[in-house]
Structure 1
Amino acid sequence: MILQLKNVSLLFVAQLVSYLIPILEIPILARALGVDEYGHILLIQTSALLCSLVVEYGYSLSGSRQVALCAGEKSLLSKIYNEITSAKIILTTGMVVLSFVVLSVTKVDIKLQAALWGYLYFFAFGFSSIWLFQGLEKITFPVVFEVCLRFVGLLMLFMFISQPEDASKALMIMSSFSVLNTVVGFYLVYRVVGGFSFTIRGGIKQIKDGFHSFLYKSSNNIMMSAGPALVGAMCGQAAVAKFAPAEKIIKASIGLVGPVLIGLYPYLSRKLSQSTPLNLKFSAFIVTGLFFAGVVGGGLIFVLGDYLISLMLGPGFEEAIVILRIFVFVIPFRMMNQAMGLTIFMPLGKDRILSFLLIFFSFFSLLLAALLSYEFDLKGVVYGLVLSEIIFSASLVAFAINIKRVENNAC
């Protein structure tokens, strides 16, 4: 139990830093680069992260589970790692080809040097080995090393980025530290499982077996991460610079509940299998509590919005204040949705229902945001994201009530 608490604490710290660093980057980059160049960098970052979601393929869930169940057998552990890494190579090949097609067809205005650094970002995030160490429950050094690297990278940005012409240099610094973290991860993996061997059959098998985990995680991340890319496509890269800071504040507020819910997931899975109707009340208590916590947190951000944006961005970003004050309404509903997924649907084995709803509402949110942007421009994108989250919440509540009714009848 102590080991689990330690791992949850480390994951919480890693999650906190993963949201804190991008927020600390905002005043450094926005003030130095200006609206256009900062928006250009954000567009490349977002595109790289979205592509890496496909390559990561939810292996932080399915891969770590396989590692945890292999009981430390080195030959089996090596087989799992080789198959999953082979799957990532196959997926990477597809994403690189697709990205070249998209860039050639859409004629997106991205500088070649910046695009190359963006590809490094993509490879670094997609090939992270943290899933292996999560399964082995040996995440102390990888997490601490990543946290230290990210703070060193932030210091480098502060020291060397001072004018709009430094945009490519900023991308180089951020992507280089990400790649370094992934390379060190490869070395740590080598010490655990030995050399790597590519296997097409094993890679395809892992892609098939991990499909539902991919649907769940990627759909959730699309809802969290696709906003800047959509804004860039519909409203231009200058609008991305006004949207992304508000979005990062919202993501940081919501993301802090993730490690807590993941830590409770095994406990609730066990409890719900023993006495479903009784323990569903406990799950409902968690969901309700997080919703009201989101209301309080969103209210504080709404009140402090002017101060936060002015402090981080300075002049030229006034519209970001309005965006943030609309965006805060997503916080309680997103927190409630995450809680329902990890405390009700997944512990009860209803992951297919959850995956379907996530996929549907991921695309629905993007479609609604795109449609509303024609009428309300940048604010329309945010209106669409908030409205779709509220409708998603209502759908999850309806399904959860039906699940509770079925379980009560079964009992």
Structure 2
Amino acid sequence: MSKLSKKFSGEEKTVAKNYGALVILQGLNYLLPLLIIPFLERQLGLEKFGLVMLAQYLMVFCVVSTDFGFNLTATREIALIKEQKGDYSIIYFKVFWARMILLVLVFLILMAVVFSFERFSQNWAVYLLSYGVVIGQAIFPVWFFQGIEKMRLITIINVIAKVIFTVLLFLFITKPGDFLNVPIFNSIGFITAGVISFIMSLKHVSWRWPDFDGTKNFYKESFLVFSSNIASQVSVAANGLILGFFAGDAVVGVYSAFEKLILAAKNMYVPIYQAIYPYMSRKELKEKRTMMSKLIPIIAGIGILGYAIIYFLGDWVIELLYKDQRIIDNISLFKVLGLIAVFSGLSMLFNVLYAPARKLFKYRMQIMIMAAIFNLVFSFIFVPIYGLKATVLVATITELFLLFLAVLYYKKDLKTYA
């Protein structure tokens, strides 16, 4: 071990430690959907399970809106301040107070949306109770701990939150009528994690009241990232929402049963990108590109291996996890959706790692918006006619389109700064 340690610089050791912590967290993110999603499908029934998942899709937009792109811009700023050994307080509280304002505004918008559409107002409680997840995410300064490269702490806190949520589910969800407990318990887990992490972060900063002067460019960059993130979520969460409008809660339940497993596979890349991002942000352009050339074949290999597992073991996994015949009858669609594991890893390499590290926020926004428009147009054309099959195909093809655009823009950047 000591010989291995000598081969790495101080920065590389930090990246390795953060990656190790994030792998543990992501491992939990793989395991829990395999426990929770099938459990909810069995206990709640497909209709109530689909309703709970529909609310979660809507919360995705709320989380992205309250984040406002700070997950990338603030992380980068904190990483640079860390390198310069500066004070984190100013940027920390500019982000914190902006998030608090957004938390209130987004809640008001959510209430307006829920009570304006009968599709939502019939089950208004499930949507409003789900907002606790947004509150927890807003006060959880993941961006700060990522920037100062102390990801092990985040791992511990996240594990605590997820364990609380999981234990409460298994203790108190026994029948379809318990469906409202799902967003309540989920919110308890996220808010607990948010409060603990916020308190822990305060030891690194000095308290400041709202002051938004002198950060116009920072907020402008954050808005570009926010626009990109909203657009990227249109390519994910909107699929479930559109399907719910046209096909009903039960069909959303089938789609969610597949999509949550694929999302876990897609997220296997997240520890790599989160651990490397602060490190890459500090490097010169030549070093960034060298890192990209090394990462591309690795990420491609991980994606191909992931899809091979989904394709060859998909039947066994779905039949083992779920009992509803409507899910089992659509296993072929699960295998099609599994291609996302290949496409998304490579597109995220540019959109989540390289572009933000290069401050190519405008490029990233253009990619995400084009993909979102592509997704929405084809969803609204085909989902009303072909339902679940159309949603699966549009979601998969959109990820391929994202990869195509990422390659296009990466080559453009290589030529521009050759």
What range is the shorter-chain TM-score in? Answer: 0.7 to 0.9
The alpha-carbon distance between structure 1 residues 155 and 202, as it changes in their structure 2 partners (threshold 3 A), is farther
CA spacing shift, 1:392–1:149, aligned 2, 3 Å: closer
Deviations 1:44-92 (A, max 9, x none): 1221222111101222221222223334999942322221122112222
* Deviation, structure 1 residue 246: 0.8
Query: Could you tell me which of 26, 31, 36 is aligned with 1:20?
Result: 31
How big is each residue's C-alpha offset from its partner over 1:225-276, in whole Å with a ceiling of 9 and x where there is no partner? 4432232223221111101121111111121122223444566667762378
Identify the residue that residue 362 of structure 1 maps to in structure 2.
Answer: 372
Aligned in 2, Cα 1:17/1:207: closer, same or farther, shift over 3 Å?
Answer: farther
Q: Are residue 81 (structure 1) and residue 81 (structure 2) matched?
A: no
Cα deviation digits, residues 165-208 of structure 1 (max 9, x gap): 11112222221121111122232233433545234658987533
Deviation at 1:345, TM superposition (A): 4.3
Deviation by residue 1:324-351 (Cα, 9 ceiling, x = unmatched): 1221222212122112335654555544
Q: Secondary structure in 1 aligned to 2:88?
A: helix
> 2:307 is matched with which residue: 291, 298, 307?
298
Structure 1 residues 230, 203: closer, same or farther in 2, change over 3 A? farther
Aligned length: 405
Q: Does 1:135 align with 2:159?
A: no
2:168 is the counterpart of 1:156: yes
Contact 1:299 1:328 in 2 (8 A): no
* Match of residue 19 from structure 2: 8
Give the structure 2 partner of residue 324 of structure 1.
334
Output the CA distance in 1 between the equivalents of 2:295 and 2:272. 11
Whether the 8 Å contact between 2:138 and 2:194 is mirrored in structure 1 is no
Which SS does the other structure have where 2:116 is aligned?
helix
TM-score, with normalisation over the residues of structure 2?
Answer: 0.86
Q: Any idea what SS the aligned residue of 1:16 has?
A: helix
Write the letter of the residue equivalent to 2:255: F
- Would you say 1:389 and 2:399 are equivalent positions? yes
List per-residue Cα deviations over 1:340-385 (Å, max 9, x = no partner).
3356545555442232112221232133123221221111011111
- Which stretch shifts more, 95-104 or 236-245? 95-104
Q: Are residue 247 (structure 1) and residue 256 (structure 2) matched?
A: no
Matched residue type, 2:15: Q
* 1:401 Cα deviation from its structure 2 partner: 3.6
Residue type at the aligned position of 1:336? L
Matched AA of 2:252:
V
SS at match of 1:137: coil
Aligned partner (choices 180, 183, 188) of residue 171 of structure 1: 183
Which range moved further: 290-299 or 127-136?
290-299
**Contact 1:14–1:143 at 8 Å: present in 2 too?**
yes
Counterpart residue number, 1:42: 53
- 1:301 is displaced (CA, Å) by 0.7
Distance 1:50 1:18, change over 3 A: farther
* Aligned partner (choices 335, 347, 350) of residue 337 of structure 1: 347
Change (3 A) 1:361 1:47: same
Q: Counterparts of 1:268 and 1:177 in 2: how far apart (Å)?
A: 32
- Aligned-partner SS, 1:257: helix
Question: Is the CA contact 1:309–1:320 (under 8 Å) kept in the aligned structure 2?
Answer: no
- The range that moved more, 65-74 or 288-297, is 65-74
Aligned in 2, Cα 1:158/1:107: closer, same or farther, shift over 3 Å? same
Task: Answer yes or no: is 1:144 the counterpart of 2:153.
Answer: no
Q: Please, which runs of 5 or more residues in structure 2 have no aligned partner?
A: 1-10
Partner SS state of residue 180, structure 2: helix
CA–CA distance in structure 2, aligned partners of residues 343 and 44 of structure 1: 29
Residue identity in the other structure for 2:36: E
Give deviations 1:112-163, integer Å, cap 9, x for gaps: 4323321212211233222222223333333212213312321221122111
Give the corresponding residue for 1:180. 192
| Runs (5+) with no aligned partner, structure 1 | none
Q: CA deviation at 1:104?
A: 2.4
Is residue 51 from structure 1 mapped to residue 65 from structure 2 by the alignment?
A: no
Q: Is contact 1:161-1:169 (8 Å) kept?
A: yes
For the residue of structure 2 that corresponds to 1:105, the secondary structure is: coil
User: What is the TM-score normalised by the length of structure 1?
Assistant: 0.87
CA distance in structure 1 between the partners assigned to 2:172 and 2:164 by the alignment: 12
Mapped to 2, the partners of 1:184 and 1:267 lie a distance apart of: 26
1:406 Cα deviation from its structure 2 partner:
4.5
- Percent sequence identity over aligned pairs: 22
**Contact 2:355 2:361 (C-alpha < 8 Å) held by counterparts:** yes
Is the contact between residue 231 and residue 372 of structure 2 (CA under 8 Å) also seen in structure 1?
yes
Q: 1:192 to 1:343 in 2, by over 3 A?
A: closer
The 1:108–1:196 alpha-carbon spacing in structure 2 relative to 1, beyond 3 Å, is: farther
Tell me if structure 2 keeps the 8 A contact 1:44–1:118: yes
Q: For 2:367, give the aligned amino acid.
A: L
> Hey, what's the Cα distance between the residues in 2 that align with 1:65 and 1:323?
39
Asked if the contact 2:375–2:395 (Cα under 8 Å) also holds between the matched residues in 1, the reply is yes
Describe the shift of the 1:116–1:13 C-alpha distance in structure 2 as closer, same or farther (beyond 3 A): same
Q: Which runs of 4+ in 1 moved over 6 A?
A: 72-75, 202-205, 269-272
Q: 1:202 to 1:379 in 2, by over 3 A?
A: farther
Q: Is the 8 A contact 1:8 1:259 kept in 2?
A: yes
Opposite residue 52 of structure 2, the aligned amino acid is: I
Deviates more, 1:133-142 or 1:358-367: 133-142
